[in-house]
Amino acid sequence: MTFLAALGATSLGVRAWLAQRAPRASADASVEIVSVDTTTSAESDEPATTSTKESAAPASGAAPKRPYNVVLLTIDTLRFDLGFAGYPRPVSPHLDAFAARSTVFERAYALASYTPKSLGPMLIGRYASETLRDREHYTTFYPGNVFLAERVRGAGGRTAAANCHLYFSWKFGMDQGFDVWDTTTMPPGMTDSDPRVTSDKLSDRAIRLLERIAAQDAAPDGAPAPPFFAWFHYIDPHAPYVHHEGAPPFATMDGGPRARAVYDEEVWFTDAQVGRVLAWIAEQRWAAETAIIVTADHGEAFGEKGHWKHGREVWEPLVRVPLLVHVPGASPQRVPVKRSHIDLVPTVLDLMAIPAGEGELRGASLLADVFAPDGEPLEERDVLVDMPEGPFNEARRAIVTGRSPGLKLVDFGGARRELYDLAEDPWENRPLPLTGERFLEAREAYERMTKRLRVTAP
C-alpha cells in the first residue's frame, strides 16, 4: 500500500481532492497531495564574539546520525517565559519535562509578531520582505517561494501537516510540498476569532497521521522508507481565551498578572495535548530516529509597554519565543546566545541530510549548538526581526546585536528609532540616546544586515 493510500484522509463532512504538483527541487517528479478543507462543514553579519554554553549535562560533541525524521510542533501565541524559562505558575509541565531532555534555546526570536509574516518566512528560510507574497493580512505566498516541505519532498522524503485554523484551510501557499495537508480538526464554520477548543483534536489527528506514516516501513523495492517531515500547528493559546476544566487556579496564584490567568489556562491545556504527542512518539520504535522541534509563531503581550495581544509591534514579549530541539543522542543543553527562526529550515535540512543551494537560505543550522561539547564557545549571531507593512500593521524591523542578550534597535519605518540594552533593560522600558558608540554599533549592524535583503514588493 502506498503512503497516500494508507493515509486515506476520508471522513464524514470532509471534502477532499487530489492535485498533481511538481516539487521545486525535482522538476520531473510528481506526487499527489491529499488536501482537506472543512470550511463548509546561514548568512551571518554578526561580529565575531562568542559565548560559552551552559549545560545540564555534558554534550557528547559527536556528529549527529543522519538522516532523521523531523516532527515540528508550533504553538500559536505562546510566550517564551514558560516554566522551563522561569515562569512560576505551573503552565507547562509537559514542555518543561521535554525541555529537560532537549536543547533549550534561551533567546530565540520569531521573524515577526503575527502568524503569516512569521510562519511563512520561517518555513521558506528567508525574511518576510524577501518572500513572494501579497499585502493581505492573511498573506498569500506565491508558488515562486520554495518551502521546506518542497525541499524535503524533492529529495525523496515524505511530508505531512495538520492544522486547525481558518487561515490554513485556504490556499495561501504554506501547503506547498506537503503530500498531506489536513484541516479536518478545524471547527465547521470557523471564524477568525473562534473560541472553540482544538488542541485535543489536533493531537488525536497528529498521532493518527504519524501512525500511518510510520506504517510504511519500506519502499516498494524493499529498501528502507525515506525519512519524513511532519508539521502540526496548535492554535488554542490565541485569543479569545477560554477556561479549561481542571486547570490550576492561576488567577489566585502569584508570579503573573491576573489578566494572564485565562491565557495561562489555554497554555496549560495545550501543553497537556502537546505532551500526549511527545509521550506517544517516545514510545514508538522509530523514536530514536526522529528529531522533534517545538516552538511558537510569536508571543503575546499583557500590558508591557501598554501593548496587548500581538501583531503590530516587535517588543520582546511579542517576538521572543520558546525553542526546544530534541535530537536523539544529544545531551540536554541550555544555549544562552540569541538565535532566530531563520535558522529552522537549515536545521531541518541538516537533520535530514538534504543539501541546500549556495545562498538560497538566510540562516544557519542549529546542530552546531545542539552537539557542541560542554564549555565550547558558541558563535554570537545578530538577529533580525522583519515585519513588512500590512492592512492592519505598519512596517517594523528590529536588530538584536552584540553579545547576548544584546543591544536592540527598533526601526518604526521612518525617522523614528528606539535603542535598548537588553542586559540592563529586558522589557524595553528605558530607551537609550540615539547617539554615542552603542547607537553607532547597533545602527551599523542594522544597516549591514538590511542591505543584504533581497526585498520584493507585494
For residues 110 and 321, the answer to whether their CB atoms sit within 8 Å is yes
Q: Which of 52-56, 410-414, 438-442 has the lowest mean pLDDT?
A: 52-56
pLDDT digits (tens, 9 = 90+) for 213-222: 988 866 667 6
pLDDT, mean of residues 125-135 = 92
Of 46 and 117, the one with more pLDDT? 117
Size (the chain), residues: 458
Q: What is the DSSP string of 329-389?
A: TPPPEEEEEEEEGGGHHHHHHHHTT----TTS-SS--SHHHHTPPTT-EEE---EEEEE--
pLDDT, mean of residues 271-292 = 97
pLDDT digits (tens, 9 = 90+) for 39-94: 333 333 333 344 444 333 333 345 667 799 999 999 999 999 999 999 999 999 99
Distance in angstroms (rounded) separating the CA atoms of residues 34 and 231: 15
Per-residue pLDDT at 44? 39
Per-residue pLDDT at 122? 97
Q: Which of 7-11, 201-205, 208-212, 293-297 has the lowest mean pLDDT?
A: 7-11
Per-residue pLDDT at 219? 62
Helix axes 261-282, 199-214, angle to 10 degrees: 20
pLDDT, mean of residues 395-419 = 95
pLDDT, mean of residues 192-204 = 92
Per-residue pLDDT at 253? 94
Q: Which three cell numbers stand for residue 103?
A: 536543547
Band of pLDDT at residue 29, cut at 50, 70 and 90: very low
The answer to whether the Cα torsion of 189, 195, 201, 203 is positive or negative is positive
Secondary structure in 3-state letters for 402-451: CCCCCEEEEECCCCCEEEEECCCCCCCCCCECCCHHHHHHHHHHHHHHHC
pLDDT of residue 314 exceeding 90: yes
Per-residue pLDDT at 190? 82
For residue 51, give the H/E element and its range: strand 50-52
Q: Which of 15-29, 334-348, 374-388 has the lowest mean pLDDT?
A: 15-29
DSSP letter at 67?
P
Which of 123, 122, 141, 124 has its CA nearest to residue 132? Answer: 141
Per-residue pLDDT at 7? 39
**438 CB burial (10 A radius; 0-12, 13-18, 19+):** middle
User: CA-based angle 40:265:160, to the nearest 5?
Assistant: 45
Q: Which of 62-66, 278-282, 298-302, 375-379 has the lowest mean pLDDT?
A: 62-66
Band of pLDDT at residue 414, cut at 50, 70 and 90: confident
Which of 280, 214, 220, 279 has its CA nearest to residue 69? Answer: 214
Per-residue pLDDT at 170? 72
Give the whole-number percent of the chain exceeding pLDDT 70. 84
Q: Which three cell numbers stand for residue 61?
A: 560533541
Domains of the chain: 3-380 (3.40.720.10), 384-450 (3.30.1120)
The alpha carbon of 433 is separated from its chain's Cα centroid by a whole number of angstroms, namely 34
DSSP letter at 40?
-
Q: Which residues are bridge partners to 258 per DSSP?
A: none
What is the reported pTM? Answer: 0.87
Per-residue pLDDT at 415? 83
Averaged pLDDT score across all residues of the chain? 85
For residue 199, give the H/E element and its range: helix 199-214
For residues 6 and 342, the answer to whether their CB atoms sit within 8 Å is no
Per-residue pLDDT at 10? 28
pLDDT of residue 18 exceeding 60: no
pLDDT, mean of residues 112-123 = 93
Distance in angstroms (rounded) separating the CA atoms of residues 128 and 120: 8
- Cis before 227 (ω within 30): no
